[in-house]
Amino acid sequence: MKEYSITVVKTNNPNILKFETNHILVQRKNYEFKNIDDAKNSPLAQQLFHLPFIKTVYISGDFIGLERYDIVQWEDVKDEVAQQLVEYLNAGEPIVIEEDMDKPVPVTVYAEVTPNPSTMKFVASKKIVASAFEFKNIDEARDSKLAMELFQFPFVKQVFIDENYVSVSKYEVAEWDDINIELREVIRNFIADGKEIVADNAKAIGAEAQVSETVSAESTIELDETSQEIVDILEEYVKPAVASDGGNIMFQSYDVESKTVNVILQGACSGCPSSTFTLKNGIETMLKNMMGDKVNEVVALNG
């Protein structure tokens, strides 16, 4: 049985909180419930509406969004709600009774060029994983059948999977014009067949696991104030940009004495010829401007 944990995430609307899970909750579509009668097909939403301060319930992909009435503040109840969600999900209770589950869902995948000439980004029309995963060789790919299948091609060097895309890095023995369509079809067919992209027990990558407010038995790593500020800036300003290019950046450490920020580049960013320029003239400059004399240098440990 899957073991769920919840991460509480603030939104731009102070009345709405996102309760993100470590597993996909619904596959087909997004759901919005305005009241308990509206939630007749969702036992989970019905239970949440028994809380007098719940105004709206949203269920989508790997998160549950909750809108509150003004009778309470989220700070007073969010931990209790998160714990209730964890207990409900881990009890194996139904989330949404989705109709027509046996009907195939059309899936499209298109290839997108990245700044790294050795890496191509294959974007799917649906979310395929809840977290980021990187596989540098076939031995590391044992928890991902999709990555294992891609590594059967002798020209595949590395596979990075995140959100709704798969970044594939190749060796120089092949040209994208010769392999692009074949890779795209393999990925599309794999997703369309409903196969498991990554095993539930696979270890996700990223700083989120270290800094998120998580309701689970696992302990989290405490970050100092400066490190947390760096992580927040990377999450808000940098990660969306590098993700659009099929890559990822992960905070590794901060050295107080040298004021050096160490990061790890992944996906299309790893080994990219332009990554040094982006790191120095983009990320390093941004951190210096936003954090003043707290940052002297940004270094990619694998750059």
CATH architecture group of domain 109-192? 2-Layer Sandwich (3.30)
Res 35: pLDDT: 93
User: CATH 3.40.50.1980: does it fit domain 6-90?
Assistant: no
Give the contacts of 214 (CB within 8 A, at least 6 positions apart).
5, 6, 7, 220
Give the contacts of 119 (CB within 8 A, at least 6 positions apart).
158, 167, 168, 169, 170, 246, 247, 267, 268, 272
**Domains of the chain, residue spans:** 6-90, 109-192, 219-300
Residue with more model confidence, 269 or 160: 160
Q: Which two tokens stand for residue 132?
A: 């980021």
What is the pTM for the complete model shown? 0.53
Q: What is the pLDDT of residues 118-152, one digit of tens each?
A: 889 999 988 888 888 989 899 999 999 999 999 99
Long-range CB contact pairs, 198-204, < 8 A, 24+? 198/129, 198/133, 198/143, 198/144, 198/146, 198/147, 198/161, 199/143, 199/144, 200/2, 200/23, 201/143, 202/133, 202/143, 202/144, 203/143, 204/22, 204/130, 204/131, 204/132, 204/133
Give the contacts of 298 (CB within 8 A, at least 6 positions apart).
260, 261, 263, 279, 280, 283, 284, 287
pLDDT over 50 (residue 212):
no
What superfamily does domain 219-300 belong to in CATH?
Fe-S cluster assembly (FSCA) (3.30.300.130)
Mean pLDDT of the chain: 83
Q: How many CB atoms lie within 10 A of CB 10?
A: 12
Q: Are 171 and 200 in contact (CB under 8 A)?
A: no
Domains 109-192 and 219-300 share a fold: no
pLDDT over 50 (residue 209):
no
